[in-house]
A and B are shown apart, each in its own frame.
Chain A
């Protein structure tokens, strides 16, 4: 009887384990469905640029003409121009 209970317990553990793994795999879904394509990750390098531009240009145009403003604008120019140096995905 003890042996029977032990086997039943082991079977239960195996069953629960199998179901849990299947559920985990199902909830994760196909990897490609949740992850952005590789090409979509490329603009991450430019994201700070654009965020930076947005933050600087949301200020009043002329009233706040501080060094920070000019520096931020020049930073965004830097990033736009450095994007120009990146190799393209196709040479044409």
Chain B
């Protein structure tokens, strides 16, 4: 009887040890199963699948950026209603377009088709070099306009304020009119002009404030 009891206890101990040893293994395995398919290493899949994964990741980066831009725009209270409407439409359209493109990439049958989709992802949207600056620079310039109004109310020299306002005139409309396309350098050059105008105005406003 005593021998049987001891055997049972030892068996229980062995079972417990096995449980303790395997618990971390299960815990560690869970995130691996939960990971998104796009997180798989590219060298572990076929060329077509690897191409799809790579493009899908790049589309996801853009979708995440658009989400942040929507939040930035929502928080930028000085953006005027017309500009806000245009930008909300742009972000919404691009989000819908890239989401559809993501699905298209997933259904492609050749690497050439995926490559073409990748080019569309860049040329048709220009999220990083154009949409982002559109949101941020519009917010900055409209805020500078608000500063001009505040300084006017404080009695700052109107001639100086008018000079700053002239430097900003039409810049947001110019920026919002830039269309995405294959010529990235041309887009960067156009955006740079507006960015520099915003920076100049900021420096001038700081001097007056």
Contacts and interface: CB of A to CB of B under 8 A. Distances in A.
Interface of A: 1, 3-4, 7-8, 10-11, 14-15, 17-19, 21-22, 25-26, 28-33, 37, 39-40, 42-43, 46, 49-51, 53-54, 56-58, 61-62, 65, 67, 69-71, 73-74, 76-78, 80-81, 83-84, 88-92
B122 interface: yes
B10 A39 contact: no
Contacts of B15: 15
Given A4-B6, A14-B16, A90-B58, A77 B23 contact: no
Nearest to A49: B75
Contacts of A43: 68, 71-72
Interface in B178-209: 184, 195, 198-199, 202, 205-206, 209
A89 B24 contact: no
13 contacts: A14-B13, A14-B17, A21-B20, A22-B23, A25-B24, A39-B61, A53-B75, A53-B77, A62-B149, A74-B202, A78-B202, A81-B140, A81-B202
Contacts of A40: 64, 68
Interface string B113-156: 00000000010001011001100110110011011011101100
Interface of B: 2, 5-6, 9-10, 12-13, 15-17, 19-20, 23-24, 26-27, 30-31, 34-36, 58, 61-62, 64-65, 68, 71-72, 75-78, 122, 126, 128-129, 132-133, 136-137, 139-140, 143-144, 146-147, 149-151, 153-154, 184, 195, 198-199, 202, 205-206, 209
5 shortest A-B CB distances, which residue pairs?
Answer: A50-B75, A25-B27, A57-B77, A14-B16, A18-B19
A76 B144 CA distance: 9
A19 B202 contact: no
Contacts, number: 162
B16 A11 contact: yes
B176 to A, nearest CB: 16
Nearest to A50: B75
A18 B126 contact: no
B54 to A, nearest CB: 12
A80 B201 CA distance: 13
